[in-house]
Structure 1
Amino acid sequence: MTEGLDPQQLGAYFALSEATSLLQHHVEQHLRAEGGLSYVQFQLLARLAEAHRLTMTQLADGVVYSRSGLTYQAGLLEKAGLITRSPSTDDERATLVTITEKGLALFGSILPGHVQVVRRMLLDPLSEADLRHLGDIMTRVRDHMRALPPRSAAARKSRAARSP
């Protein structure tokens, strides 16, 4: 039998969940108002702004998003002229995604306001020691979660297996 969470564990979990939701809400409001982007689209542009070119699988693993959802979001970004998609010359199964100059410009114009939102909502109430501890804790948690196979590596269920 699985035991429940003790009050301290439950409190920490709920505080993290609520803080994450509040931060994401404020970030999304900014992204929609300033760039017409969703949070996921901003994450994709951010990863591509750093790397310039990634495979769809690398993007899916990096932003922890489903393959089908990523394909849809990439299609919207491509339609807007912010990215391009092309077949990989190294792996015929892979699709390469590249950020365009227009995508880099949009990302660059949105980033300062994004930083202001993150600073105001997350960083301002923390001391340097708090920030160091939070960084250490969240890095450990993230690394623990990332040690599991990425979602894009999970086997897909056949249509027959998904039917009731």
Structure 2
Amino acid sequence: MTDTHAGVQPLDPRQLGAYFVLREAVSLLEHQVEQQLRADGDISYVQFQLLASLTNAPGPLTMTQLADGVVYSRSGLTYQAGLLEKAGLIARGPTPEDERATQVTITGKGRALVERVLPGHVELSRRLLFDPLSDDDVRHLGDIMTRVRDHMRAQPPRSAAPRKRRPTSPAATQD
């Protein structure tokens, strides 16, 4: 790749190759996982992430904690949570410590759905991701991806970023 921006060092061929192989592998895995979750539970991967996060949490989570955990926008999470709540898979309500925050809990129906789709999810993950790897490869992959994730998460969470304000039109500001 050529240097199109002054001062930006281009990726070397190995870095560029690794980047594209990673993106392709993730895309292939996400596509297969999405199909499996739709077939086995009629849910999307994001919905599965939300349900799995709630299943593994020691108690209710706030919407902000869920958004940060699954790396999803506030508005997108609100929409997905609305769908899950309408389906009876989660319940939302005010947080006792802060009425402005919304806490989310998984329902029995939500737990049952996770238990139903999880075996297929595990089988697919094992077959596509782990079967071609040795135990040593898995350890190295885990170490590498943990470092990368931790580096990325060192930035403030997306939910902590200030919301962008829409510019007001000149007509809206006139008397």
The amino acid across from 2:41 in the alignment is G
The match for 1:91 is 98
**Larger relative CO (CA 8 A, sep 6+): 1 or 2?**
1
- Is 1:18 the counterpart of 2:21? The answer is no
Give the Cα–Cα distance (whole angstroms) in 2 for the partners of residues 23 and 33 of structure 1: 15
Measured against aligned partners, the alpha-carbon deviations of 1:3-27 in whole angstroms (never above 9, x if no partner) come to 2110000000001000000000000
Measured against aligned partners, the alpha-carbon deviations of 1:26-77 in whole angstroms (never above 9, x if no partner) come to 0000000000000000000000001141000000000000000000000000
Q: 1:70 to 1:157 in 2, by over 3 A?
A: same
CA displacement at 1:92 relative to structure 2: 1.5
The amino acid across from 1:34 in the alignment is D
CA displacement at 1:120 relative to structure 2: 0.6
The counterpart of 2:159, out of the listed 120, 129, 152, is 152
The match for 1:31 is 37
The counterpart of 1:48, out of the listed 50, 54, 61, is 54
Counterpart secondary structure, 1:158 = coil
Q: 1:61 to 1:162 in 2, by over 3 A?
A: farther
Measured against aligned partners, the alpha-carbon deviations of 1:77-133 in whole angstroms (never above 9, x if no partner) come to 000000000011101211000000000000011101100010011000000110010
Q: Point out the structure with the larger helix share.
A: 1
Instruction: Compute the TM-score of the two structures, normalised by the length of structure 2.
Output: 0.91
Counterpart secondary structure, 2:99 = coil
In structure 2, runs of 5+ residues without a counterpart are 1-6, 171-175
Instruction: Compute the TM-score of the two structures, normalised by the length of structure 1.
Output: 0.97
Counterpart secondary structure, 1:37 = coil
Give the Cα–Cα distance (whole angstroms) in 2 for the partners of residues 149 and 12 of structure 1: 26
Give the Cα–Cα distance (whole angstroms) in 1 for the partners of residues 38 and 168 of structure 2: 38
Q: 1:45 to 1:162 in 2, by over 3 A?
A: farther
The match for 1:79 is 86
The amino acid across from 1:10 in the alignment is L
Give the Cα–Cα distance (whole angstroms) in 2 for the partners of residues 159 and 105 of structure 1: 42
In structure 1, runs of 5+ residues without a counterpart are none
Give the Cα–Cα distance (whole angstroms) in 2 for the partners of residues 46 and 161 of structure 1: 40
Give the Cα–Cα distance (whole angstroms) in 2 for the partners of residues 106 and 16 of structure 1: 30
The amino acid across from 2:11 in the alignment is L
Counterpart secondary structure, 1:86 = strand
CA displacement at 1:162 relative to structure 2: 10
Pairwise CA RMSD: 1.4
Larger radius of gyration: 2
